[in-house]
């Protein structure tokens, strides 16, 4: 009997097929080999993994026994990180809200994600003379990919200029700062990966 839309959506939330595939690949088993262990055909297993078919409880139990997991493994909600940010949802903020001189404005690209391992931003840099570049530092590492314009990155007592298409990776515990060079808009993707707390 075909399942209605509500049941299909409810079952899809458990990602049972993907969980079976992850277990199989983790054990480096092919579909045929898993079929031999379970008594199920490779074609049936393939349909289940691809979400084209939902297994009955006896079928799922056969699979669970091969991998040494209980049925509850397949019915726990998938908590792996997945978060979409629509362009219209992003908010633009100055880097230093209370300052008269703002080195850049940024938009967070990953704000809804919980327990993030990194922070990603779209940054618009402002012009400044090099003597006015505001320096800062923070734990972790930083990656910048220039989307357009020319970015001046001041680090190690020197300025490195990055053009559109250039990128840089550096230890952000070093004093560093940025400025837009020239009149054209300067925009970049900035990714910061924090490190565990340590003195800087």
What CATH number is associated with residue 54? 1.10.260.40
β-sheet with 176-181: strand ranges across: 158-162, 150-155, 176-181
Q: Are residues 110 and 178 in the same domain?
A: yes
For residue 68, being part of any structural domain is answered with yes
Q: Are residues 123 and 182 in the same domain?
A: yes
Residues 6+ apart with CB under 8 A from 56: none
Q: Are 138 and 172 in contact (CB under 8 A)?
A: yes
Residue 1 has pLDDT above 80, yes or no: no
Domain termination residue (choose one: 41, 75, 109) = 75
Work out the mean pLDDT of the chain and round it to a whole number: 88
Tally of domains in the chain: 2
For residue 82, being part of any structural domain is answered with no
Q: What is the pLDDT of residues 97-147, one digit of tens each?
A: 666 677 889 999 988 877 788 999 999 998 888 878 889 999 999 999 999
Q: Are residues 134 and 60 in the same domain?
A: no
Domain termination residue (choose one: 44, 75, 106) = 75
Q: Are residues 66 and 91 in the same domain?
A: no
Q: What is the pLDDT of residue 35?
A: 94
- Range of 64's domain? 5-75
For residue 200, being part of any structural domain is answered with no
Q: What is the pLDDT of residue 198?
A: 47
Q: Are residues 30 and 115 in the same domain?
A: no
Q: Are residues 51 and 130 in the same domain?
A: no
Beta bridge partner(s), residue 142: 170, 192
For residue 198, being part of any structural domain is answered with no
What percentage of residues in the chain have a pLDDT greater than 90? Answer: 54
For residue 81, being part of any structural domain is answered with no
Residue 196 has pLDDT above 90, yes or no: no
Q: Are residues 166 and 110 in the same domain?
A: yes
Residue 197 has pLDDT above 70, yes or no: no
Distance CA(28)–CA(4), nearest Å, equals 35
Q: What is the pLDDT of residue 166?
A: 98
For residue 199, being part of any structural domain is answered with no
Q: What is the pLDDT of residue 99?
A: 65
Q: What is the pLDDT of residue 78?
A: 63
Residue 195 has pLDDT above 90, yes or no: no
Q: What is the pLDDT of residue 15?
A: 85
Q: Are residues 94 and 66 in the same domain?
A: no
Q: Are residues 60 and 98 in the same domain?
A: no
Domain termination residue (choose one: 50, 75, 100) = 75
Distance CA(169)–CA(128), nearest Å, equals 22
Q: What is the pLDDT of residues 25-72, one digit of tens each?
A: 988 889 999 999 999 999 999 999 998 889 999 999 999 999 999 998
Reported as a pLDDT band with limits 50, 70 and 90, residue 2 is: low
Beta bridge partner(s), residue 83: none
Q: What is the pLDDT of residue 114?
A: 73
């Amino acid at each position: 009997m075909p399942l209605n839309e509500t049941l299909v959506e409810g079952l899809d939330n458990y990602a049972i097929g993907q969980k079976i595939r992850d277990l199989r690949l983790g054990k480096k088993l092919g579909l045929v080999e898993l079929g031999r262990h379970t008594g199920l055909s490779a074609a049936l297993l393939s349909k289940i993994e691809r979400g084209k078919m939902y297994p009955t409880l006896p079928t799922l139990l056969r699979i669970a026994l091969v991998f040494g997991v209980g049925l509850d493994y397949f019915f726990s909600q998938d908590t792996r990180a997945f978060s979409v940010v629509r362009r219209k949802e992003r908010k633009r903020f100055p880097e230093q809200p209370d300052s008269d001189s703002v080195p850049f404005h940024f938009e967070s690209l990953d704000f809804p994600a919980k327990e993030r391992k990194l922070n990603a931003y779209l940054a618009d840099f402002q012009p400044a003379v090099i003597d006015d570049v505001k320096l800062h530092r923070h734990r972790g590492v930083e990656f910048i990919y220039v989307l357009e314009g020319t970015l001046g990155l001041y680090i190690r007592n020197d300025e490195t200029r990055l053009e559109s298409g250039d990128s840089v990776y550096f230890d952000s515990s070093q004093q560093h700062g940025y400025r837009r060079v020239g009149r054209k808009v300067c925009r970049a993707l900035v990714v910061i990966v924090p490190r565990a707390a340590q003195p800087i």
